[in-house]
Structure 1
């Protein structure tokens, strides 16, 4: 079995946290820094100038090099498994990965986390204004539907408040005519945020494998995925106050199918792509959707590509093999210091079970899908930033301006990272005992 290509980018920059009046989840900050290279802005005028420049950068049109993507978009979307594009990282591919990262970050920017708001855990903006309000006005996409997900993984002591409650998970969009000309095809985009709610955190802890069973015509019981991710993808909230009684899966299959059929009818002969992008848990949901679309044949002739940022493993060896067979392409952008990218299966995985006495366990172990674009950044005073989407995007950009990425919920999120590392240690110890047992039998 072929395994993903890995390339590491060692990007250094100077970065200090920006002072922010409001705190929000999952935009913790940046990044790998030399302590002596920090920059301090002391005057109000300098701060205002930096903030103004940052606003202009966040709302500017896509980079000029994106014009060339029209001539090589199939390679950028993994037609040749990104061969020759990862080491060194091709500038057009980098720009496209950054572009999709910004479109995922819009999910965090637009999510209402104020508990006193009637839109709590919904999108703060209407579909027409959402991308502009989230800072990507020049994205070149029209949002067609909001997506909601729920989980029946209740938090102990908070069952009534958490179990089955739906929340805004992302959106579906399609490229405008102008962007379609720049991209060389009509792009249907699905964008997912990462874990935010307590119920989602509980679902993430369900690390057991279970059959995906998405195609009723062929259940493929050997193809297994993490039960918690599948739960978020397929659960329903019949009392959803946002009017979303269907599961995340049903909403997505219906909308993507509609867009594929509509674009094929409205623009006959035009090439089309389906791009699914997500951060953290959103990267897992992206892989489930991509596999689901391809397994059911709902993508038509459009290639399906996943851009995952800080995403975990999703399924077993059979899941990986089936994704490869169906032509689902996955580019995983992973920080070497991000523990989430090493879960589940921190020890028993695609590398450790390749040879030796553990080979027989491959079918029951988690395996990454696709190719890996490995980054390497860390700020030891803020360990939570190793999983931050803003830090991922800024690292790819190679930005070094002070305050370019803001820090939010640092202490709380650092605690989550610490718990993840503790979980990794426990898994490693248990796996070592299993390995010792197998070695004694060999």
Structure 2
């Protein structure tokens, strides 16, 4: 085992003896371990989307993503402002997930542009020995939060399609510039923090992730155990997870020496569209599996591409010629539905709402979601959108005008959506 693997193993094995019971679930150890490949999308979740086992595991990942919000320091007077409040060893415990069964190996930072300072965006973790036995494999997890800072909101409004140019020279030689993704998400993924984060975020979000995930896969691939990669994120974080899945599969980071592929699965909570039809086709070709968890009333899942998308350009209709220039969802949808009163519309995109709907059989779920939203200041992500859109200006750009561009969605090819 390489030195890197030995270091990680040293952290994992003592924890395996001491961990408290994992997050409360109704599924059994045998059920998850026996069907883990199906749960990761080996057959595109055929016949199990409504199953309790899948929803329990998806909710578990949702809680691991939710920790990114709970640990993000928004106090402008804090030394850790816009970084994680806690060190890696205690972050999950501080967020109420002491028994989650994962060991964080690295924090990840992202800059919304090359001129911006890096902000803490999430973490990379590995399942400990006890959890690995329960779920049937060693799981390498990357967890991303959604949009919070003003710079990230600005990046999200850059909704023109641009060539992805990810996944290595071989991928680009085959696809040229036909594979396109949303420019704002690509900017957050690839921009390097020129000032470098004082908490260790050297290089772009992409560079940090490829180094760490590559290191972990190289470490564990020699153990003889099954290994999976799960990329989980909410909102903008879901888009970053999709870009990472495409990128690492294109680079072959998940391919073992004997040619066997380690499964790469994206679990997207309230995720927007990320790329065009060529991007989707290439993800499918590379074997990247994506489970899109959506709230039927969440408008973010219909952006970008409100009018021109995979549905409106299908078949032989008049919009068919626009197909290759339009945004297209990737993966299989797990749609959740709920009824919201007018005053609750700000909650439709909030991650706590998603977790609550996944655990809909829990009588306390609605109360749980309300408490989580209150902890974040009311309306969660959608509340922040509404607040920001109502402001007059951020820098030189009126938020109202920018929001109208984002919601227009009629002329994508002109860079509006």
2:367 to 403, 408, 415: 403
Q: Give 1:272 deviation, angstroms.
A: 0.5
Contact in 2 for aligned 1:66/1:96 (Cα 8 Å): no
C-alpha separation in 2, matches of 1:175 and 1:144:
11
2-structure distance, mates of 1:85, 1:345: 29
Determine if contact 1:379/1:386 at 8 Å carries over to the other structure: no
Q: Helix, strand or coil: the match of 2:45?
A: coil
Deviation, 1:427, is: 2.4
Structural mapping, 1:39-438, within 5 Å: 61-67=23-29, 68-86=31-49, 89-152=50-113, 163-214=115-166, 215-219=168-172, 220=175, 221-240=177-196, 241-265=198-222, 267=223, 269-300=224-255, 301-355=261-315, 356-377=317-338, 378-398=340-360, 399-401=362-364, 403-405=367-369, 406=371, 407=373, 408-410=377-379, 411-415=383-387, 426-428=408-410
Shift of 1:382: 2.3
Deviates more, 1:177-186 or 1:209-218: 209-218
For 1:121, what is the secondary structure of its paired residue?
A: coil
Q: Which has the higher contact order (CA 8 A, sep 6+)?
A: 1
The 1:291/1:417 distance shift into structure 2, 3 A limit, reads farther
Shift of 1:317: 0.2
Alignment coverage as a number of residue pairs: 360
Distance 2:123 2:286 in 1: 24
- Cα shift at 1:282: 0.2
Q: What is the deviation of 1:64?
A: 4.5
Counterpart contact for 2:294–2:301, Cα < 8 Å: yes
Residues 327 and 111 of structure 1: is their aligned pair in 2 closer, same or farther, counting only changes over 3 Å?
Answer: same
Measured against aligned partners, the alpha-carbon deviations of 1:16-65 in whole angstroms (never above 9, x if no partner) come to: xxxxxxxxxxxxxxxxxxxxxxxxxxxxxxxxxxxxxxxxxx99634141
Which TM-score applies when normalising by structure 1?
Answer: 0.78
CA distance in 2, matches of 1:304, 1:245: 25
Q: Which has the larger radius of gyration?
A: 1
CA contact (8 A) 2:26 2:56 kept: no
**Is residue 65–residue 92 contact of structure 1 (8 Å, CA) maintained in 2?**
yes
Give the secondary structure class of the aligned counterpart of 1:174.
strand
Compute the RMSD of aligned alpha carbons. 2.0
TM-score, normalising length: structure 2: 0.82
In 1, Cα distance between equivalents of 2:155 and 2:67: 23
Secondary structure of the corresponding residue to residue 274 of structure 1:
strand
Render the CA deviation track for 1:56-105: whole Å, top value 9, x for unaligned.
Answer: xx99634141411100000111100011112xx11110111000000000
Task: Check conservation: 2:68, 2:145, Cα contact below 8 A.
Answer: yes
**Segment of structure 1 superposing worse, 279-288 or 381-390:** 381-390
1:137 Cα deviation after fit: 1.1
- Distance in 2 between residues matched to 1:101 and 1:132, nearest whole Å: 16
